[in-house]
Amino acid sequence: MFKLLSKESNIFSIPVYIGFLLLIVIFFNILNFNTYEAIIAGITFLGIALGYFCFHSIALNYQTHLPLFLYTFFVFGLYPGNLDIGIAVSLLTNSFLLLLLTSTNEDIRKKSYVLVGAIVALNFIFLPTTWPMAVFVIIHVIATSERIVLNLFRFLLGIILIAFSYFSLMFFMNFTTWNINYFPFGKIKFVTDYTGLFPLIPIVVMLIYAVYDHFKNYNKKSPISRYKYTFLLVFSVAQLVTIILYMNKSYEYLLLLAFPSTIIISRMLKFLPKYWMQEVSLWLIIFSLIGFKAGTYFDLF
């Protein structure tokens, strides 16, 4: 299967995978279908579907089917069906952030920082536990910008515009009281029971090895490849902070790591020295996700 998935893909391959994604979303929502769930399912579909186009934008997949296939399988394994609207919106906003911030054109990035700030603020409104993303963007601006102060101002301006619009809307709707539970810092729930995550251990081990292998061969990478891969790693750390602090038993948070994990693992598989290693690793990923899906769907753990 690895050789089949290693064949060159093109933009016309994406609608096929999006079709599978649509079937997955419909299948897991058909039994509890209502207007609210349909809206959440639609936002989820758009966010995940946009991820397929991010592969071509980031251009770290060597134009093969492998990342597209793995991404689809990650979504199948991690998607619970009854997704919270905050997670759904976060998936959509993350896809836009990936498209905007991975551009190697400084001019494009600096013109998008107001929009990036607006997206981060909107993300926080729907899911306050994603506050580490704002920290990530600030670190990204400081590390990559030539005019740090100006770009930070643009980023903060985007946040202020959304915050002003939000509070104005709430005021005119007579929502004038402040709910202290809106702040996520008092609701930290560390993961204490890892039993349900046991099927994912092979994938975690592969991710650790992939990161190790990347830095082991760091000097062999092109500057653009190093920049985009490092971006994905720091992006993943921001998502991981949210997961560690707030996931607890809400395993749908793992969907936030589906896209970066796919790229990291697919690159690792491509550079494994033996074909049998690539094939065994691919099937191990598939069975791990199936095992995790079965465990959460049938409450086996």
pLDDT, tens only, 162-219: 999 988 888 888 877 776 767 777 667 676 777 888 999 999 999 999 999 888 887 8
In the numeric block, the tokens 């994938």 are attached to 203
Confidence of residue 9 (pLDDT cuts 50, 70, 90): low
186 near 246, Cβ under 8 Å? no
The number of angstroms, rounded, from the C-alpha of 59 to the middle of its chain's C-alpha atoms is 16
Of 42-56, 176-190, 230-244, the range with the lowest mean pLDDT is 176-190
Q: What angle do CA 118, 68, 42 make, to 5 degrees?
A: 50
Q: What angle do CA 206, 256, 245 make, to 5 degrees?
A: 90
Per-residue model confidence (pLDDT) at position 11: 58
CA–CA dist 278, 266 (Å, integer): 10
List the structure tokens of 106: 């400084």
The residue range of the domain holding 217 is 2-297
Per-residue model confidence (pLDDT) at position 256: 93
Q: Please give the model's pTM, rounded to 2 decimal places.
A: 0.89
- Contact partners, residue 2, CB within 8 Å, separation at least 6: 66, 269, 275, 278, 279, 282
188 near 245, Cβ under 8 Å? yes
Domain total of the chain: 1
Q: Give the tens place of pLDDT for each residue, 283-294.
A: 999 999 999 988
